[in-house]
A and B are shown apart, each in its own frame.
Chain A
Amino acid sequence: MENVQVLPQSKNLRRQKRTKELRNSLLYHLGVGLLGLLMLYPILWLISSSLKPADLIWTTVYDLVPAEIKLENYINGWQGFGGITFATFYKNSFIYTILSTVFTVVSSAVVAFGFARIQFRGKRIWFGIMLLTLMLPDQVLIIPQYIVFSQLNWINTFLPLLIPKLGGSVFFIFMIIQFIRGIPIDLDEAAMIDGASQFGVFYHIILPQLKPAVITAAIFSFYWTWDDFFGPLIYLTNPNLYTVSVALRNFSDTTSLTDWGAVFAMLTLSLVPVFAIFVFFQRYLVEGIATTGLKG
Chain B
Amino acid sequence: MSKPAAAIPAPGSVTQEPVQPRARQKTKNKNFKQNNLAGYLFISPWLIGFLLFGLIPLIMSFALAFTDYDILSGGDFIGLDNFHRMFFEDARYGRSVLATFRYVFASVPLRLIFALAIAMLLNTKRRGIYWYRAAYYVPSVIGGSVAVAVMWRQIFGRDGVVNAVANLLGLESVNWFGNPDTAIWTLILLAVWQFGSPMLIFLAGLRQIPQEMYESASIDGANGWEKFMRITLPLLTPIIFFNLILQTISGFKVFTSAFIVTGGAPLDTTLFYSLYLYNRGFANFQMGYAAAMAWVMLVIIAILTAISFKLSSYWVFYETEVK
Contact = CB atoms under 8 A, between A and B. Distances in A.
Contacts of B8: 131, 134, 174
Given A40-B138, A137-B249, A126 B201 contact: no
A63 to B, nearest CB: 10
Contacts of B47: 126
A120 B40 contact: yes
Nearest to A173: B46
Interface string A253-296: 00000001001100110110011001000100010011111011
B48 A292 contact: no
Nearest to A130: B46
B38 A199 contact: yes
A78 B108 CA distance: 37
A16 interface: no
A133 B146 contact: no
B98 interface: no
A129 interface: yes
A158 to B, nearest CB: 15
Interface stretch (A1-9, A68-76, A178-186): A178-186
B145 to A, nearest CB: 4
Tell which of B31, B64, B121, B141 has the most Cβ of chain A within 10 Å.
B141
Interface stretch (B89-97, B177-185, B289-297): B289-297
A142 B294 CA distance: 9
Given A114-B43, A139-B274, A143-B287, A271 B147 contact: yes
Nearest to A258: B154
B266 interface: no
A133 to B, nearest CB: 6
A18 interface: no
Q: How large is the interface on A (under 10, 10 to 19, 20 to 34, 35 or more residues)?
A: 35 or more
A260 B161 CA distance: 14
B294 A143 contact: yes
Given A120-B34, A290-B200, A267 B49 contact: no
B309 to A, nearest CB: 11
Interface stretch (B128-136, B211-219, B314-322): B128-136
Contacts, number: 299
A73 to B, nearest CB: 14
Interface residues of B, number: 115
A36 B132 contact: yes
A282 B311 CA distance: 36
B51 to A, nearest CB: 9
Contact of B128 (A29, A111, A131, A189): A29
A195 interface: no
B48 to A, nearest CB: 7
Interface stretch (A80-88, A94-102, A161-169): A161-169
A278 to B, nearest CB: 5
A42 B41 CA distance: 48
25 contacts: A39-B135, A39-B193, A42-B139, A42-B148, A42-B151, A111-B42, A119-B28, A119-B35, A131-B8, A139-B293, A140-B61, A140-B297, A142-B294, A144-B58, A164-B49, A174-B9, A189-B32, A223-B141, A229-B146, A245-B146, A246-B146, A249-B260, A275-B142, A293-B239, A296-B250
Interface of A: 25, 28-29, 31-33, 35-37, 39-40, 42-43, 45-46, 58, 61-62, 107, 110-111, 113-115, 117-121, 123, 126, 128-148, 150, 164, 166-168, 170, 173-174, 178, 181-182, 184-185, 188-189, 192-193, 197-199, 202, 223, 226-227, 229-230, 234, 245-246, 248-249, 252, 260, 263-264, 267-268, 270-271, 274-275, 278, 282, 286, 289-293, 295-296
